[in-house]
């Protein structure tokens, strides 16, 4: 699995130090407890920490109880917090979503899991007509502090309905905050921030990154988040790799691909910057455009079909704001405009390092600069 070591707290080759039990000593006085942590474990820890910190945080969905979720993101939560705090529901996504709306109306902070991207569609009316609109409908009198966790996107050899990149549906709906972390560190911090937010969040978890690892100190992340010193992630894109010749703009599952492309390009003498958008809504025009104005070239990379997508929106925003800095048209590398392919064909569909580099090669380098 791809590792994104550039932003890790320590190099991936650092020795894994044993974690010091946080209850025994305050984290600040211990030596670094940085260790190789999976994306899934970071999410699981974020959920546990949020539930520990606030008794109104609830977790429910399909198979999230004793099983711990089909991806084990809720592992151990029912045992630790009891069946009133983390529980299985009947198998009905609109039911899960609608009940979460009512619970959020009445003092709770529900976190719901849609088992797979395409299985969230039965809940679509609840999301679009109520989750997104109820706060506006009531002039902010009713807030919906709820998080909709969706294991999403492909690259795992899944059968049909298990690999959709559904972000554009949600990003198109005013009222929703839409997040897609790409690193272990962000998985923890962004989920904590999402749960604490008074607005509803669609939290997209790239399935293919669940078992990716980074060396991070979860205790330190917890401490910085809870004391408010962690940098805010919502509405903020981040420069994942600095470069000077062109900007690759990616989010969620396409970030590691963009990082690999930038690494490959550097061997060929081309310096690519990678922006991890991570917060699709609100969108950080400032960070994205500052990068493109520096480099003069941009490629947006996303797994989703490109037509009428978040990637299309990013291209439009960059063209509108950076036109006079651009040396070439802003390009996209996205999935094709087809239903997500069967496992043996998905590698043709997904943005690849080669396809990204081919597109970068076409950015009118002969015209100057």
Partner 1 sequence: MTIPTNSDSTGTEGGVGKQLLPSPVPVQLIDQHGEARADARYALPDPQALLTGYARLISGRRINDQANALVRQGRLAVYPSSHGQEACQVSAALVLQSQDWLFPTYRDTVAVITRGVDPLEVFTLLRGDWHSGYDPYELHVAPQATPLATQLLHAVGVAHAAKLRGEDTVVLALCGDGATSEGDFHEALNFAAVFHVPVVFFVQNNEYAISVPLKNQSVAPSLAHKAIGYGMPGERVDGNDLAALLSVLGAAVDSARSGGGPALIEAHTYRMQAHTNADDATRYRSAEDVDKWIPKDPISRLRTYLRGLSLLDDAVEEQFAADAEALAASIRAGLNADVEVDPQELFAHVYTQKTAQLREQADLLRDELSREAVQS
69: number of Cβ within 10 Å: 24
Identify residues 241-280 at the interface with partner 1 (CB under 8 A).
Answer: none
Asked about 130 being catalytic, the answer comes back as: no
- Verify binding: residue 180, partner 1, rule CB under 8 A: no
Distance, in Å, from the CA atom of 62 to the CA atom of 47, rounded to the nearest integer, reads 16
- Verify binding: residue 129, partner 1, rule CB under 8 A: yes
- Considering only CA atoms, give the Rg of the chain: 20
Exactly one of 226, 286, 320, 337 binds partner 1 (CB under 8 A); that residue is 286
Contact mark string toward partner 1, 206..245, x via CB under 8 A: -----------------------------x----------
Contacts of 23 (CB under 8 A, 6+ apart): none
Tokens 């009428």 belong to: 308
Identify residues 42-61 at the interface with partner 1 (CB under 8 A).
Answer: 58
- Work out how close the CB of 258 gets to partner 1 at its nearest, in angstroms, rounded to a whole number: 24
Exactly one of 15, 18, 107, 228 binds partner 1 (CB under 8 A); that residue is 107
Distance, in Å, from the CA atom of 22 to the CA atom of 67, rounded to the nearest integer, reads 26
Nearest to partner 1 of 193, 346 (CB atom)? 193
Partners of residue 248 on adjacent β-strands: 274, 299
Considering the candidates 162, 324, 347, 348, report the single residue annotated as catalytic: 162
Q: Which two tokens stand for residue 59?
A: 């977790």
Exactly one of 7, 130, 241, 332 binds partner 1 (CB under 8 A); that residue is 130
- Verify binding: residue 25, partner 1, rule CB under 8 A: no
Partners of residue 332 on adjacent β-strands: 300
Contact mark string toward partner 1, 307..346, x via CB under 8 A: ----------------------------------------
- Verify binding: residue 361, partner 1, rule CB under 8 A: no
Nearest to partner 1 of 142, 260 (CB atom)? 142
- Verify binding: residue 26, partner 1, rule CB under 8 A: no
- Work out how close the CB of 33 gets to partner 1 at its nearest, in angstroms, rounded to a whole number: 34
86-88 and 57-61 as β-strands: parallel, antiparallel, unpaired?
A: parallel
Distance, in Å, from the CA atom of 86 to the CA atom of 83, rounded to the nearest integer, reads 5
Exactly one of 97, 190, 302, 314 binds partner 1 (CB under 8 A); that residue is 97
- Verify binding: residue 142, partner 1, rule CB under 8 A: yes
Q: Give 102-168 as a DSSP string.
A: HHHHTT-EEEEE-SSGGGGGGGHHIIIIIITTHHHHTTTSS----EEEEEE---S---TTSS---HH
Q: Which two tokens stand for residue 20?
A: 């010091």
Residue 187 near residue 181, CB atoms below 8 Å: yes
Q: Which residues here bind partner 1, judged by CB under 8 A?
A: 58, 84, 89-90, 92, 94-95, 97-108, 110, 122, 125-126, 129-130, 133-143, 174-175, 177, 198-199, 235, 281-283, 285-286
* Residues acting as catalytic residues: 162
């Amino acid at each position: 699995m791809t590792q994104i070591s550039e932003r890790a707290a320590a190099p991936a080759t650092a020795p894994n130090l044993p974690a010091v039990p946080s209850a025994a000593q305050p984290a600040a006085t211990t030596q670094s407890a940085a260790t190789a942590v999976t994306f899934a474990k970071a999410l699981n820890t974020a959920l546990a920490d949020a539930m520990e910190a606030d008794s109104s945080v609830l977790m429910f969905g399909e198979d999230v109880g004793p099983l711990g979720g089909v991806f084990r993101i809720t592992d151990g939560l029912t045992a630790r917090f009891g069946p009133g705090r983390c529980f299985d529901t009947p198998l009905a996504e609109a039911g899960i979503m609608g009940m979460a709306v009512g619970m959020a109306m009445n003092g709770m902070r529900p976190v719901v899991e849609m088992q797979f991207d395409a299985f969230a569609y039965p809940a679509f009316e609840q999301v679009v007509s109520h989750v997104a609109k109820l706060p506006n409908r009531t002039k902010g009198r009713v807030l919906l502090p709820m998080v909709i966790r969706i294991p999403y996107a492909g690259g795992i050899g899944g059968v049909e309905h298990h690999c959709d990149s559904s972000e554009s549906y949600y990003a198109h709906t005013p009222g929703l905050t839409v997040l897609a972390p790409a690193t272990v560190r962000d998985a923890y911090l962004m989920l904590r921030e999402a749960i604490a937010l008074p607005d509803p969040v669609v939290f997209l978890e790239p399935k293919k990154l669940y078992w990716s690892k980074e060396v991070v100190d979860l205790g330190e992340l917890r401490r910085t988040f809870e004391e408010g010193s962690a940098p805010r992630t919502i509405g903020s894109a981040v420069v994942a790799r600095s470069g000077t010749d062109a900007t690759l703009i990616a989010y969620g599952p396409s970030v590691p691909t963009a990082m690999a492309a930038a690494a490959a390009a550097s061997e060929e003498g081309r310096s690519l910057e990678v922006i991890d958008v991570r917060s699709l809504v609100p969108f950080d025009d400032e960070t994205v455009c500052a990068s493109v104005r520096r480099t003069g070239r941009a490629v947006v990379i996303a797994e989703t079909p490109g037509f009428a997508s978040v990637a299309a929106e990013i291209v439009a925003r960059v063209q509108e704001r950076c036109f006079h800095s651009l040396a070439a048209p802003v390009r996209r590398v996205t999935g094709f405009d087809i239903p997500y392919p069967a496992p043996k064909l998905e590698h043709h569909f997904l943005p690849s390092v080669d396809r990204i580099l081919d597109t970068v090669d076409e950015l009118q380098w002969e015209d100057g600069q």
